[in-house]
A = this chain, B = another copy of it.
Amino acid sequence: MSRRERKKEETRQRILDAAMVLFQRQGFDAVTMERIAEEADIAKATLYSYFPVKEALLVGWMQRLTAELRPDVEALLRGQAGTRARLKRLLVLFGRIAQERRALIERYALFRISSRERFCGDPTLRSGIDGILTRILSEGQQRGEVRNDVSPEELTNHLESLSLSALMMWLAAADDGGQGPRLEKIVDLFFDGIGGQ
């Protein structure tokens, strides 16, 4: 890793730090890109070279979070549970995170749900969680627990769509009752379909 790349990564992190501090203080909309650039002490054009759209900052933040959860996820994957239980545990884990930072998560989900890149496979704007989902689903196919007439990537997209949709519905319903988005139900729906029982 050259000096250049190291410096770039450093700047990237500094931008992300600055942005997240501002977001959490004033909210996503109230913070302008110029303000973030100023806080990170770079020009606006430079900021845009690192994060091509404002929401990309949230993606970077999410990637950090998933990196921090890496150990938990690995433990979860090493467990001998079935595919359904694995998916549930993974999504519930992320559902808990969603509960803590509702406002920002909502913006993230909205962007994520509609980003073209999700359907093409541009890795720079990948969420981090979908790679894990694909792994679980792929293994599930090999074990025969999951139908294999659809590719793991497509299944991932579908499951992610369902999850994000459920997340948005939960966010839209103001009265959460403190129980968070119940993504286990989504997994069951995804597994069993709407026909069975």
Residues of A within 8 A of B (CB): 84, 110-111, 113-114, 116, 118-120, 137, 145-147, 150, 154-155, 157-158, 160-162, 164-166, 168-169, 171-172, 185-186, 189-197
Instruction: Report chain B residues within 8 Å CB of A185.
Output: 150
In the assembled complex, the CB of A195 is this many whole angstroms from the nearest CB of chain B, namely: 4
User: A195 contacts which chain B residues (CB < 8 A)?
Assistant: 84, 145-147, 191-193
Q: How far is the CA of A161 from the CA of B166 in the complex (A)?
A: 10
Q: A116-B172, A147-B196, A150-B185 are in contact. List 19 more A-B contacts (CB 8 A).
A: A84-B195, A110-B116, A113-B113, A116-B168, A118-B168, A119-B165, A137-B194, A146-B195, A147-B195, A147-B197, A157-B165, A157-B169, A190-B193, A191-B193, A191-B194, A192-B196, A193-B193, A193-B195, A196-B196
Q: Pick 20 A–B contacts, CB within 8 A, sort by A.
A: A84-B195, A113-B113, A116-B172, A118-B168, A119-B165, A119-B172, A146-B194, A146-B195, A147-B194, A150-B185, A157-B165, A158-B162, A158-B165, A158-B186, A160-B165, A161-B162, A191-B193, A191-B194, A191-B195, A192-B195
